Amino acid sequence: MDILSPEIDQNSFETWFKPVRFHSFNHDILQLTVPTDLYRKWLISNYYERILQAVAQITGCSPEIKFRTPEPDADEIESSKDCMISGNGADRLENASFNKPIASVLNERYTFANFVVGESNRFAHAAAKSVADPITRSYNPLFIYGGTGLGKTHLMQAIGHEIHRVKPESLVLYVTSEQFMNDFIKAIAQDNQYDFRRYYRNVDLLLLDDVQFFAGKEHTQTQFFHTFNALYDAGKKIVISSDRPPKELVTLEERLRSRFEWGLIVDIQPPEKETRIAILRKKAETNGLVMPADVLEYIAERIDTNIRFLEGALVRIQAYMALNKKKTLNIALTREIIGDLLSGNAREAVSISTIQSAVCDYFSIKLADLVGHARGRKYSVPRHIAQYLCRKLSSKSLPEIGVYFGGRDHSSILHACRSVEKRIEKDHSFETMVGHLTKSIREKS
């Protein structure tokens, strides 16, 4: 396990490897004990080859590895049965370890009143308002997609705030897909899946953010599939967000993608200049910052990608004005304060979907083959180049990039990047090709 620890995400290692225990080693068979059968299936599906390599590194041979689960005694079985049938459903949820505050996780700033509507988000805003009406049952699920920092989370949580305002007794749950997965892993580790299911399936509104994170996580997808079905069949509302429309989430199971298309799919585009000015003005007023019209326009013209950059510029300006006791703001001072943000924004990080699309077009391959596990240089070379360009051009970390490529871990992405870098150093034609591709992607973004 010491060999594997540095190569695997700490959370995954703590969950899946720490409970593994040595059982026996004889006749070229290594037996390891795991808590449940799901552990056995997960380790075999995701880490068997790597475990085999680690064992070979230690023992000098390649034994067959078998995972076994402990057999519970009769008392444990009876105790488990008693636990499952004791108490009614409400009591069960009240005492569940997953019984976190439901509405308290909503950001108080993310309301409809604070959302600036423009042409880029008008349809998504109207759909969200409709879903927030407790009486309305249409548009279920609502699927919102768009780039980073465009207001998806704001709209989702605004729905939650509105429903909770009109019907305070409603159970509203906002959760990121990563948190959903972590809760699921925790439930498995604690043998507490009953409470997990009760917690997630007893809400009136489920808001799931960044569903693309489920890529490559087969068991989590299965669990969410059943959660989705339970809520949908019970007439509960579901809102999901992603950076891409369902049809482009090729690393998710088809049955999940088809369900996302049952309701309404809306997108949010980067805000146009008028909306950017309106956003700046509203946030400046909220923060008590006086900004002349020409300064607002100057910033809006130069920060044209997402709302977070606009907010970052305002925070910088407000801090500078307060710390330096400045009362008057003009374009010259604005340029001095946020000049580096303006120049950096002109070359904002490129989205991973843009990079993947460009690489697929360049090499004439399908997205499913690029992000999947198809072997052969026809697919492996474009895949490595795409991963290299994602690291170079996007703002995503290695683990985040791995999510977009079939759930690969960070070490796989790092290996791909290094292999491309080495080939660039040795192969001039390869370097030229990657350069042309990089330029093409920059021009499209």
DSSP string of 318-367, one letter each residue: HHHHHHTT-----HHHHHHHHHHHHHHHTTPPPPHHHHHHHHHHHHT--H
Q: What is the CATH number of the domain that holds 356?
A: 1.10.1750.10
**80 assigned to some structural domain:** no
The answer to whether 202 and 171 are in contact (CB under 8 A) is yes
Closest CA to 98 of 12, 194, 230, 18: 194
Regarding whether 150 and 264 lie in a shared domain, the answer is yes
Residue 80 has pLDDT above 70, yes or no: no
**117 assigned to some structural domain:** yes
Looking at 50, 68, 86, the residue that finishes a domain is 68
Residue 113 has pLDDT above 80, yes or no: yes
Q: Give the model's pLDDT for residue 2.
A: 62
What would the mean pLDDT of 304-324 be, rounded to a whole number? 85
Residue 109 has pLDDT above 50, yes or no: yes
Regarding whether 114 and 262 lie in a shared domain, the answer is yes
Q: Largest Cα–Cα distance in the chain? A: 82
Distance between CA atoms of residues 306 and 114, nearest Å: 16
Question: What are the backbone dihedrals phi and psi of residue 157, each rounded to the nearest 5 degrees, phi first?
Answer: -70, -25
**313 assigned to some structural domain:** yes
**255 assigned to some structural domain:** yes
Regarding whether 262 and 284 lie in a shared domain, the answer is no
Distance between CA atoms of residues 295 and 309, nearest Å: 16
**409 assigned to some structural domain:** yes
Regarding whether 261 and 138 lie in a shared domain, the answer is yes
Q: Give the model's pLDDT for residue 312.
A: 87
Contacts for 131 with CB less than 8 Å, ≥ 6 apart: 139, 140, 142, 159, 237, 239
Distance between CA atoms of residues 66 and 410, nearest Å: 27
Residue 76 has pLDDT above 80, yes or no: no
What would the mean pLDDT of 189-208 be, rounded to a whole number? 89
Q: Give the model's pLDDT for residue 335.
A: 87
Residue 230 has pLDDT above 60, yes or no: yes
Q: Give the model's pLDDT for residue 260.
A: 96
Task: Identify which has the larger pLDDT, 55 or 20.
Answer: 20
Q: Give the model's pLDDT for residue 55.
A: 77
Q: Is the peptide bond before 270 cis (omega within 30 degrees of 0)?
A: no
Q: What is the CATH number of the domain that holds 325?
A: 1.10.8.60
Q: Report residue 74's pLDDT band, with 50, 70 and 90 as the boundaries.
A: very low
Task: Identify which has the larger pLDDT, 290 or 13.
Answer: 290
Residue 229 has pLDDT above 90, yes or no: yes
**359 assigned to some structural domain:** yes
Question: What are the backbone dihedrals phi and psi of residue 18, each rounded to the nearest 5 degrees, phi first?
Answer: -60, -40
Q: Report residue 148's pLDDT band, with 50, 70 and 90 as the boundaries.
A: confident
Regarding whether 429 and 392 lie in a shared domain, the answer is yes
* CB atoms inside a 10 Å sphere around CB 346: 10
The answer to whether 298 and 341 are in contact (CB under 8 A) is no
Regarding whether 261 and 126 lie in a shared domain, the answer is yes
Distance between CA atoms of residues 263 and 255, nearest Å: 14
Residue 138 has pLDDT above 80, yes or no: yes
Distance between CA atoms of residues 181 and 187, nearest Å: 10
**327 assigned to some structural domain:** yes
The angle, 0 to 180 degrees and rounded to 10, between the axes of the packed helices 331-345 and 307-323 is 140
Q: Give the model's pLDDT for residue 77.
A: 34
Q: Give the model's pLDDT for residue 348.
A: 56
Regarding whether 245 and 337 lie in a shared domain, the answer is no
Per the structure block, which two tokens stand in for 155? 């709209």
Regarding whether 212 and 111 lie in a shared domain, the answer is yes
What would the mean pLDDT of 356-364 be, rounded to a whole number? 93
Task: Express each pLDDT in 16-37 by its tens digit.
Answer: 788 888 888 776 778 888 887 7
Q: What is the CATH number of the domain that holds 261?
A: 3.40.50.300
Q: Give the model's pLDDT for residue 72.
A: 47
Task: Identify which has the larger pLDDT, 431 or 13.
Answer: 431
Residue 81 has pLDDT above 90, yes or no: no
Looking at 237, 268, 299, the residue that finishes a domain is 268
Q: Give the model's pLDDT for residue 98.
A: 55
Residue 371 has pLDDT above 80, yes or no: yes
- Amino acid occupying residue 15: T
What would the mean pLDDT of 260-271 be, rounded to a whole number? 93
**Percent of the chain having pLDDT more than 70?**
87
Question: What are the backbone dihedrals phi and psi of residue 402, each rounded to the nearest 5 degrees, phi first?
Answer: -55, -35
Residue 93 CA: distances (Å) to CA of 103, 183, 198: 16, 15, 6
Regarding whether 155 and 15 lie in a shared domain, the answer is no
Regarding whether 249 and 191 lie in a shared domain, the answer is yes
Residue 91 has pLDDT above 50, yes or no: no
Looking at 307, 325, 345, the residue that finishes a domain is 345
State the average pLDDT for the chain. 83
Q: Report residue 13's pLDDT band, with 50, 70 and 90 as the boundaries.
A: confident
- Amino acid occupying residue 161: H
> Which of these ranges, 116-125, 167-176, 347-356, 372-381, has the smallest mean pLDDT?
347-356
Q: Which domain holds residue 359?
A: 352-444
What pTM was estimated for this model as a whole? 0.62
How far separated are the first and last CA of the chain, in Å rounded? Answer: 43
Regarding whether 286 and 221 lie in a shared domain, the answer is no
DSSP 187: H
Q: Report residue 5's pLDDT band, with 50, 70 and 90 as the boundaries.
A: low
**90 assigned to some structural domain:** no
The answer to whether 405 and 387 are in contact (CB under 8 A) is yes
Q: What is the CATH number of the domain that holds 22?
A: 3.30.300.180
Task: Express each pLDDT in 239-259 by its tens digit.
Answer: 999 989 999 898 899 999 999
Regarding whether 284 and 185 lie in a shared domain, the answer is no
Instruction: Tell me how many domains the chain contains.
Output: 4
Q: Report residue 238's pLDDT band, with 50, 70 and 90 as the boundaries.
A: very high
